[in-house]
Amino acid sequence: MKMVVIKRMIHKGESRLMLNFKYDPELVNLAKQVEGVQWSNSDKCWHVPDRNDMLGRLFTLFRGVAFLDYSDMKSKAPLIPTWAKKERVKPGELTGVLVAEEEEAIRSFRRWMYHCRYSRSTMRTYTASLITFLKFIKPRVALEVKEEDIVYFVTEYILRNGMSYAYQNQVLSALKLFYGEVYKTKLDIEKLNRPRREHRLPNVLGGGEVESILKAPLNLKHRTMLAMIYGCGLRRGELLNLESSNVDRERKLLIIKQAKGMKDRVVPLSDKMLARIREYREAYKPEVWLFKGQGKGKKYSEASLQEVFKQALKKSGIDKPATLHWLRHSFATHLLESGTDLRYIQELLGHKSSKTTEIYTHVSIRSIQNIRSPYDELDL
């Protein structure tokens, strides 16, 4: 039987599959039927696009006519994708445009996530990650993606732009789901070496700093929102998703529904916090959402809440790069320092694992301040 040897080659900076065989009119005619085939005068061979589906197409085309030897490809692969960019591409500078098939594939992926009850936040995050990746790899289209394309994206876009571990892991998770569910392609994401998890300590504000921030806003609604984030240990989204009915004045509880991980939980409301909420409700008379936004029936926006905190931070004179989430970290740490059992703090924060809550023991000063440094023992 006739033989065709398949090897990888770089032609004009692009990865191609070289078809080596002795001249034979029948084989030439078959090779010419491959989409994207070209003849190389310098290498004296036909070559075709290096795509995931190409080997399968070649086996179908040459079946019964020639034996295909692709052993050289098993140990060799192009180190740099064909679309590799020489200059660093910064966020916001991506110019690639998705084709209609890719847009439909993303819509299909969103429908699948919605069916599986993924949170809106996760759906939004995964979709944005996918669009960024697909724009970056242009002119290659989604169906042609290989593992080395993802490696190159991580190296040349995520790492070169100093993006976080969390974002990198997020992109890999989105790609794994997208290709597995939409294209039914098993990209071996685990071989791409997910980054090691960062072990960062939570950022905590002192009691005096928290007091200054909570007193800073003159607007009653703004003061109430910041007070509840700290006083109840809420995440930003949990506060904004609160409905008026979630405040149980009789039992002195705040009911948080379908929070992170689709979990419900309750947080106790002190008399002081209830008084603050009652004052706010009498002034603003919220209907559905506890904190309504500008439009009718709309809840308060994340961007507006971020701006409220930013202005409070500026007015209080605190020069730390604090975020809203620092108030939640401070709530947990201050509870621990006041002697609250770690198990109760875990319940209040809605943590699935106690290990997540234990990180606050590393920033609590209750025990650390009692440690005497050996430096203090020196006669200096």
pLDDT digits (tens, 9 = 90+) for 67-109: 888 877 655 555 456 556 657 788 888 888 888 889 999 999 9
User: Would residue 191 show up in a list of annotated catalytic residues for this protein?
Assistant: no
**Which one is catalytic: 260, 265, 281, 315?**
260
Provide CB contacts within 8 A for 163, sequence distance 6+: 157
CA distance 312 to 302: 15
User: Would residue 260 show up in a list of annotated catalytic residues for this protein?
Assistant: yes
**Which one is catalytic: 126, 152, 230, 360?**
360
Global confidence as pTM: 0.59
Dihedral (Cα; 342, 346, 351, 353), 10-degree rounding: 40
User: Amino acid identity, residue 158?
Assistant: I
Give the C-alpha distances (Å, rounded to integers) separating 109 from 37, 175, 177: 32, 11, 9
**Which one is catalytic: 7, 110, 265, 325?**
325
In the chain, the N- to C-terminal Cα span, in Å, equals: 90
Task: Give the pLDDT band (50/70/90) at residue 375.
Answer: low
- Could you read off the pLDDT of 200-228 as tens digits, one per residue? 677 888 889 999 999 999 999 999 999 99
pLDDT value for 79: 46
User: Amino acid identity, residue 71?
Assistant: S
**Which one is catalytic: 235, 257, 281, 315?**
235
Report the relative pairing of strands 14-20 and 2-11 from DSSP bridges.
antiparallel
Give the C-alpha distances (Å, rounded to integers) separating 203 from 145, 284, 313, 332: 39, 33, 15, 11
Domains of the chain: 2-75 (3.30.780), 100-192 (1.10.150.130), 207-366 (1.10.443.10)
User: Would residue 351 show up in a list of annotated catalytic residues for this protein?
Assistant: yes
Q: Is the pLDDT of residue 354 over 90?
A: no
**Which one is catalytic: 16, 146, 222, 328?**
328
Task: Give the pLDDT band (50/70/90) at residue 156.
Answer: confident
- Could you read off the pLDDT of 19-69 as tens digits, one per residue? 999 889 899 999 999 888 998 887 788 998 887 778 888 888 888 888 888
Placement of tokens 């033989």 in the chain: 3
User: Would residue 235 show up in a list of annotated catalytic residues for this protein?
Assistant: yes
